[in-house]
């Protein structure tokens, strides 16, 4: 089996249905897929989960896909899976922050259409603002809004008390809002755009 090419493994799996062929692909491309997942998700635990999900899907996908070269095909599968995760996180973040900031939307009005140049500038401004946050604020905000962790999980992971987690999130959001509003940027909307485009 080790002497078979990637493409031969796929063909053999389609014909025989032996999952060991997929297992061999797993051995060959585990490191690559994990590297891709870390690149996009920025979290090793999340990356491990994503890679497992990708390879679980292969048992079904390989049977019906027309694959010319396995390596770039698998890279794309893994990349798209991670982008899908980020988009779901962005949607969750938008819902959570919209719920907590109804006044902002009433005051700022409906989202304006941004040109590509305006979008790029605002994304750069947001990235700069996030990097200026204190490390503990970055950890708590990303943990809560991006990764869906509870206050308790964040506290355990970073050695904070529950009150500290709550305070870091509130202060971090306030600091981002102040900086971005001073620049005329709708901070809730552009943050969501940033999450999807950050990869």
Report domain extents, the chain. 6-87, 101-197
pLDDT in tens, 64-89: 989 999 999 999 999 999 888 877 76
Which segments of the chain are extended strands (E)? none
Question: Which pLDDT belongs to residue 113?
Answer: 46
- Among 84, 4, 71, smallest CA distance to 33 is for 71
User: Whole-model pTM?
Assistant: 0.52
Compute φ and ψ for 8, nearest 5 degrees.
-70, -35
Give yes or no on whether 6-87 and 101-197 have one common fold: no
Q: What is the CATH number of domain 6-87?
A: 1.10.1740.10
CATH 1.10.3720.10 fits 101-197, yes or no: no
Dist CA 30 CA 55 (whole Å): 9
User: Could you tell me the two tokens for 3?
Assistant: 């002497």
**Average pLDDT, whole number, for the chain?**
79
Dist CA 177 CA 175 (whole Å): 5
pLDDT at residue 103 is higher than 50:
no
């Amino acid at each position: 089996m080790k002497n078979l090419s990637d493409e031969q493994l796929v063909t053999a799996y389609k014909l025989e249905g032996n999952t060991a062929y997929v297992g061999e692909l797993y051995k060959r491309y585990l490191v690559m897929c994990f590297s891709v997942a870390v690149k996009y998700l920025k979290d090793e635990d999340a990356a491990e989960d994503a890679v497992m999900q990708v390879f679980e899907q292969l048992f079904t996908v390989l049977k019906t896909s027309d694959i010319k070269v396995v390596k770039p095909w698998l890279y794309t599968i893994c990349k798209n899976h991670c982008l899908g995760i980020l988009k779901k996180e962005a949607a969750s973040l938008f819902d959570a922050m919209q719920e907590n900031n109804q006044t902002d939307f009433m005051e700022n009005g409906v989202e304006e259409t941004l040109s590509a140049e305006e979008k790029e500038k605002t994304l750069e401004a947001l990235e700069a603002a996030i990097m200026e946050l204190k490390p503990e604020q970055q950890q708590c905000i990303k943990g809560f809004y991006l990764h869906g962790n509870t206050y308790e999980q964040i506290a355990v992971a970073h050695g904070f008390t529950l009150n500290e987690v709550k305070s870091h999130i509130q202060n971090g959001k306030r600091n981002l809002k102040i900086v971005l509003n001073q620049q005329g940027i709708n901070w809730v909307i552009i943050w969501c755009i940033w999450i999807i485009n950050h990869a």
